[in-house]
């Protein structure tokens, strides 16, 4: 390159000579006047790295004008310079973008989270509507019932979960009885430990612990199963055969959990009360016959009905969320893991929030 009185650019401007050319460009940038004549006729080999250096030296607008009117410039180099100038317009020599403040970033993150929650809620409501529509369409057509699939899912989600549900609620019932006795002993009211255990398990702990276990155990299984089928293109094959994935995959799982969760809730209530009875018999000298007599006398049947009424609602939501997240899998094993985690988190969150809302409503209604 020669720099007086104008500038004549020649030679190869390629990545192989990038370091040497960059040093010359940096040396000329401050001393090259805007009105200096520039010739591009001697330009040899050229690639995008060299064109980017020319943009850095002359500016995208000036280089584009020079390339357009340079008569000795080959057409392919002229086109490359034009493309690079357009791509780097407003970038070369521009001011770096200002980083937003921490407050704006925080507000943006909150807004994005709320927008995602809104979209997710809409997708869940839409999937609930599709599931209910498919359910009502098949109820009057017994030939389309998937009895075998229903029984299989009932075994997996209900019968196989029975031991863990019974053991967990038995231990929690024992812990609640022990803590209740410890606190009530200071008031001389250890006898009311029976009321505490029965009331808590019939209304809340029985159905809530069972629903949380099913959210972690069954919803994740539903998501992984449907997600794996989607990744293996099995669901596409089902659609190609003219079958409905909702009818074939979703309904048996939803109906199985609708049957299994109330039964497991009943077992959880019995196990929790039994755990409290063991602690009362061993630590408080409350015999099993006295324990049962207090239950029959002081605990109304409506507490049992309140707990059982929550079970089908929780079961439906857990099954629908698990199936919906399975259909959101994009095809990779990483996506299957992410959606499985998302289904568990969403199911537990929805169950706890809904249980809290129902509890507040029932408390206000005096039920």
- Please report, rounded to a whole number, the percentage of residues in the chain having pLDDT higher than 70: 93
How many other β-carbons are positioned within 10 Å of the β-carbon of residue 355? 19
> What pLDDT shows up at residue 92?
45
Give a three-class secondary structure readout of 25-63: HHHHHCCCCCCCCEEEEEEEEECHHHHHHHHHHHCHHHH
Looking at residue 354, what is its pLDDT? 93
pTM, two decimals, is 0.70
In this prediction, residue 144 carries a pLDDT of: 83
pLDDT per residue over 297-309, tens digit each?
A: 888 898 999 999 9
pLDDT at residue 364, rounded to an integer: 86
First to last CA, the chain: 91
pLDDT in tens, 184-208: 888 888 888 999 999 999 988 999 9
Confidence of residue 30 (pLDDT cuts 50, 70, 90): low
* Cα–Cα distance, 259 to 154 (Å, whole number): 8
What is the tens place of the pLDDT at every residue in 67-105?
777 777 777 777 877 788 777 775 544 455 567 778 888
Q: What confidence category does residue 317 fall into, taking pLDDT thresholds of 50, 70 and 90?
A: very high
> CA-CA distances (angstroms) from residue 111 to 80, 116, 258?
42, 9, 36
What are the sequence ranges of the domains in the chain?
Answer: 7-87, 116-365
pLDDT, tens digit (0-9, with 9 covering 90-100), for 263-277: 999 999 999 999 999
The answer to whether 222 touches 326, Cβ cutoff 8 Å, is yes
pLDDT digits 0-9 by tens, 238-261:
888 888 889 889 999 999 999 999
Contact between 201 and 170 (Cβ < 8 Å): no
DSSP alpha helix (H) spans, the chain: 18-29, 48-58, 60-69, 75-87, 102-139, 147-154, 162-184, 193-200, 206-214, 220-231, 234-240, 245, 251-283, 288-298, 301-327, 333-365
């Amino acid at each position: 390159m020669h720099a007086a009185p104008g500038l004549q650019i020649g030679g190869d401007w390629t990545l192989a000579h990038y370091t040497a050319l960059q040093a010359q460009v940096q040396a000329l940038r401050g001393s090259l006047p805007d009105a200096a004549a520039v010739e591009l006729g001697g330009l040899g080999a050229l690639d995008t790295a060299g064109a980017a250096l020319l943009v850095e030296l002359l500016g995208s607008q000036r280089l584009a004008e020079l390339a357009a009117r340079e008569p000795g410039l080959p057409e392919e180099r002229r086109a490359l310079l034009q493309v690079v100038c357009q791509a780097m317009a407003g970038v070369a020599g521009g001011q770096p973008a200002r980083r937003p403040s921490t407050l704006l970033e925080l507000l943006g993150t909150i807004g994005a989270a709320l927008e995602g929650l809104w979209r997710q809620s809409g997708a869940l409501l839409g999937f609930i509507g599709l599931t209910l529509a498919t359910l009502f369409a098949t109820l009057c057509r017994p030939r389309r019932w998937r009895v075998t699939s229903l029984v299989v899912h009932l075994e997996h989600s209900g019968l196989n979960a029975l031991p863990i549900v019974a053991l967990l609620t038995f231990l929690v019932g024992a812990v609640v009885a022990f803590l209740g006795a410890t606190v009530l002993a200071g008031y001389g009211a250890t006898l009311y430990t029976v009321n505490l255990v029965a009331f808590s398990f019939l209304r809340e702990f029985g159905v809530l612990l069972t629903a949380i276990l099913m959210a972690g155990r069954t919803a994740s299984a539903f998501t992984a199963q449907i997600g794996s089928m989607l990744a293996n293109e099995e669901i596409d094959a089902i659609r190609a055969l003219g079958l409905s994935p909702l009818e074939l995959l979703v309904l048996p799982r939803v109906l199985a959990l609708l049957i299994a969760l109330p039964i497991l809730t009943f077992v959880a209530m019995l196990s929790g009360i039994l755990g409290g009875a063991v602690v009362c018999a061993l630590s408080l000298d409350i015999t099993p016959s006295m324990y049962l007599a207090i239950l029959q006398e002081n605990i109304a049947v409506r507490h049992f009905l309140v707990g059982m009424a929550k079970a089908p609602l929780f079961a439906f939501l857990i099954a629908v969320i698990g199936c919906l997240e399975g259909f959101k899998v994009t095809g990779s094993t990483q996506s299957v893991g992410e959606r499985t985690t998302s289904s568990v988190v969403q199911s537990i969150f929805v169950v706890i929030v809904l249980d809290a809302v129902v509890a507040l409503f029932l408390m206000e209604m005096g039920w």
